[in-house]
Structure 1
Amino acid sequence: MTDRLVLVINCGSSSLKFALLGEADRTPVLSGLAERLGTAEGVLNWKAGDIREQVLIADGTHRSAMAELLPLITRFAQQPLAAVGHRIVHGGEHFTGASVIDDEVIQAIKDSSTLAPLHNPAQLTGINEAMRVFEDIPHIAIFDTAFHQSMPPHAYRYALPEYLYTEHSVRRYGFHGTSHRYVSRQASLLMGMEPGHGAWLTAHLGNGCSTCAVLDGRSLDTSMGLTPLEGLVMGTRSGDVDPNLHSHLARNLGWDLERIDNMLNRESGLLGLSGLSNDMRTLVAARADGHAGASLAIDVFCYRLARSLAGLAVALPRLDGLIFTGGIGENSPLVRELTVRHLALFGLAIDPAANATPPGNPARQIQAEHSPAILVIPTDEERQIAEECLALLDFTATQSAEQEA
């Protein structure tokens, strides 16, 4: 069988991350990152097997970055692309799964841009440039929010006047859906269950962090809400604060909305608590050296994470296991240890030796004897996006065949 190829693109306002993935091989054929776009210092770093190169992007535009990508695809792809998959942060209530990009989908992404002003416009730029460079190939949108569209109303509605939801789409959406979907499925395989089965609490922990309650492949609740600011303590984001904080700061400090928004999104979280860094590795090292701010930041991070996981447990009929993923979740034994200490009520306990396994290892179990499963599973959002693209192509082909018959 032909090993179909999917090019996955994740476009930011100043970056363009990509991966060329085969259907069967778990290792990308080609992957890379164009960064510092929008400046004169734009650069494209890519790797294919043992080959690694860096290319300067003279004008620093997304268009030029995509133009540099085309010959690389031609060089390393052994066959035409089956699809180009685009990661889109916010799809509002429009999308519950992968969608072939057409004028209607593009308009819906534009309509959702008010809910993700830093992400959706940049990702539309990526779509436009990719469709110009890779013509006559299906382009498919995969939405971070789509996985969470299975949440029931009691989980996604805010206790606000009805018209704010019906007329202005104010509700909880959730994010990191591709990652939560991927690791919960991998957990079922690791534990010998039917693929996609199980009742899981998942913790995606990076610079952005979120938790999710997943039952048999469906999101029942998650920590992020209308925007990615709600929920956990993150690298520079505060997570949950008193909703009246805005008016308190406006009245007492004279701050306007822009300043408050900037503080909550870019000056808070681990960085704000520690006064040192938003990088967990830096904070763990500083904690070991007795830095009080770093110690406080880690303690608050882990307590708030445990509290979120405990709260999400009410969405599940049982608990088959807890999953850690993302840069922090996969690589910080200290964060996993401190978080699980707060969850003793659920019978969760870590095996210290298993937990101390160095980073870079495959999916593994780290629970102590008699504890529910505690899993560390490296996320692979690009692989999940590629698989959803191919599944949509297969579904579309089957529908066409049935109509012709």
Structure 2
Amino acid sequence: MPARNILVINCGSSSIKFALVNEAHSQFTLSGLAERLGSHDAVLHWQRGGEKDSLMIPNGDHRAALAQLLPLVQSAAGGKLHGIGHRVVHGGEHFTAASRLDEATLRAIRATAPLAPLHNPANLLGIEAAIKLFPNLTQVAVFDTAFHQTLPEHAFRYALPDHLYREHGVRRYGFHGTSHRFVSHRAAELAGLSVGDSSWLVAHLGNGCSTCAIVNGQSRDTSMGLTPLEGLVMGTRSGDVDPNLHSHLARTLGWSLERIEQLLNKESGLLGLSGLSNDMRSLEQAREQGHAGATLAIEVFCYRLAKSLAAMSCALPQLDGLIFTGGIGENSPLIRSKTVAHLTLFNLALDKEANARTVRGVGGSIQAYGHPRVLVVPTNEERQIALDTLALLNA
């Protein structure tokens, strides 16, 4: 059977990230980004092979962007597109795995929207547009939360009245599941271990960040919770704060709930601490030049990350390795070394040269000789979504 082509779509409120994945090739046949959708400056960027191009689509919405994308995809796929995989952020307790998109699945995604008001409605825009444009093609939803549905109850429950969970779904769900699953499987391959008999700590570090404890291929704990705000310091998200901060700010500053949510999601994290940027590359440069805010942001980021990884270890029967992934995890030797320096009780230590050269898509072991395994594993969420879509096509 010829190798199949899957279009992977990740929709934001004003953007579409996409990749055409061929099951036989490691590189994407076509990839790109439609951004600023709904505005006069809406634009579609794409890359095919070594060539890059752009097309302005003034005031274009998600459907207009996908309509422009369609001939590019059909050309790159040689007219043979076999399915579409959609990233959906929140599946609640409805979904423990990827699901074919039909009316029942769409209803469940809409019902879960209150748990992810910034994400699920945007994901639905892309899904609905794609279904109208490709009505006869199998389309699949792959959920960030699905991988974490194996968390035991003692890990996913909050210490709140029972009815809030039973009637309103207030519990810890976790996110970045597609990435955590992909890199833990890849790490087992690299280490020559069975996925079904291995235990990992994973740090997915980008603009959004989370840790995960993975035992025998299953998520056992993770740092994000009901929403992606819980847990680590992130680009613009605060991560964990005192739960009473909301009422303190409302009482003392007269802030509204919307203003506080804006603060915690858009103005905090690395950006808030540094007063400079949410981009770790910029902060590392500023730190070298003696910028106090950038230095503090990096110190807090690494300490809180190490603290979370130590907490995740409670869910492991053994430690076969620590995995760094995501834009920061794959490209920042400084963050990796400063984080591991806080974990001396685990006997972790890095080989300085191996750590320095493991950047820009290069993966591999970076631990010092005689110390527990530490791996850099480039993530590939698009490929994992394509694999999940192919699995449902096979079924």
> Do Structure 1 and Structure 2 share a fold, with TM-score over 0.5?
yes
Aligned residue for 1:147, secondary structure, equals helix
User: How far is 1:91 from its partner?
Assistant: 0.5
Give the match for residue 252 of structure 2: 252
CA distance in 2, matches of 1:216, 1:181: 11
CA RMSD of the aligned region, Å? Answer: 0.9
1:378-393 mapped onto 2 (5 Å cutoff): 378-393=378-393
C-alpha deviation, 1:79, in angstroms: 4.4
| TM-score after normalising by structure 2 | 0.99
- Superposed CA deviations along residues 306-342 of structure 1, whole A, max 9, x for unmatched, are 0000000010000000000001000111000000000
Which residue of 2 is the match for residue 287 of structure 1? Answer: 287
CA contact (8 A) 1:142 1:385 kept: yes
The residue aligned with 2:80 is 80
Question: Residues 185 and 197 of structure 1 are in contact (CA less than 8 Å); yes or no, is this contact kept in structure 2?
Answer: no
CA drift of 1:75 comes to 1.1
- Aligned partner of residue 334 in structure 1, secondary structure: helix
Instruction: Give the 3-state SS of the residue equivalent to 1:167 in structure 2.
Output: helix
* Identity score, percent: 63
SS at match of 2:200: strand
**What CA deviation, in whole Å up to 9, does each residue of 1:87-144 have, x standing for no partner?**
0000000000010000010011001100111110111110011111112111000000
SS of 1:296 mapped into structure 2: helix
What is the SS of the residue equivalent to 1:142? strand
Cα contact 2:358–2:376 (8 A) shared by 1: no
- 1:251, distance to aligned residue in structure 2 (A): 1.1
Q: Measure, in 2, the Cα distance between the counterparts of 1:154 and 1:393.
A: 35
Query: Which aligned pairs between 1:235-274 and structure 2 lie closer than 5 A?
Result: 235-274=235-274
- Given residue 67 of structure 1, which amino acid in structure 2 is its aligned partner? A
In 2, the alpha carbon distance for the partners of 1:220 and 1:71 equals 43
Offset of residue 391 of structure 1: 1.2
Q: Give me the whole-angstrom Cα distance separating, in 1, the residues matched to 2:48 and 2:10.
A: 18
Q: Deviations over 1:275-316 (max 9, x none)?
A: 111110111011111111110000000000000000000100
CA contact (8 A) 2:358 2:364 kept: no
Deviations 1:322-371 (A, max 9, x none): 00000100011100000000001001100000000152243210000111
For residues 237-260 of structure 1, give each alpha carbon's deviation from its aligned partner in whole angstroms, at most 9, with x where no partner exists: 000000011111111111111111
* Aligned match of 2:374: 374
Corresponding residue of 1:402: none
Which residue is equivalent to 1:70?
Answer: 70
In 1, Cα distance between equivalents of 2:313 and 2:103: 40
The answer to whether the 8 A contact 2:349-2:368 is kept is yes
* Amino acid in structure 1 at the alignment position of 2:211: T
Q: Deviations over 1:220-277 (max 9, x none)?
A: 0000000000000000100000001111111111111111111011111001111111
Contact 1:185–1:196 (Cα < 8 Å) also in 2: no
1:380 positional shift: 0.4
In the aligned structure 1, how far is the partner of 2:162 from the partner of 2:285? 48
1:191 aligns with 2:205: no
**1:85 Cα deviation from its structure 2 partner:** 0.2
Tell me, yes or no, if the aligned pair for 1:207 and 1:234 is still in contact at 8 Å.
Answer: yes
1:195 Cα offset (Å) = 4.3
* Paired position in structure 2 for 1:23: 23
Asked if residue 220 in structure 1 is aligned to residue 223 in structure 2, the reply is: no
Aligned residues: 395
C-alpha distance in 2 between matches for 1:290 and 1:82:
53
Equivalence for 2:158: 158
C-alpha distance in 1 between matches for 2:101 and 2:196 = 26
Partners of 1:184 and 1:196 within 8 A in 2:
no
Alignment match, 1:104: 104
Structure-2 separation of matches of 1:79 and 1:4: 11
* Correspondence list, 1:282-361, <5 A: 282-357=282-357, 359-361=359-361
Shift of 1:196: 5.4
More displaced 10-residue stretch of structure 1: 250-259 or 356-365: 356-365
- After superposition, the Cα gap between the structure-2 partners of 1:195 and 1:2, relative to the gap in structure 1 and judged at 3 Å, is farther
Distance in 2, matches of 1:127 and 1:196, equals 33
Partners of 1:67 and 1:155 in 2: CA distance: 43
TM-score w.r.t. the length of structure 1 is 0.96
- Aligned partner letter, 1:316: L
Cα separation, 1, equivalents of 2:280 and 2:329: 10
Structure 1 counterpart of 2:129: 129
Once superposed, which parts of structure 1, at least 4 consecutive aligned residues long, lie more than 2 Å away?
194-197
Q: Does the 8 A contact of 2:74 with 2:81 survive in 1?
A: no
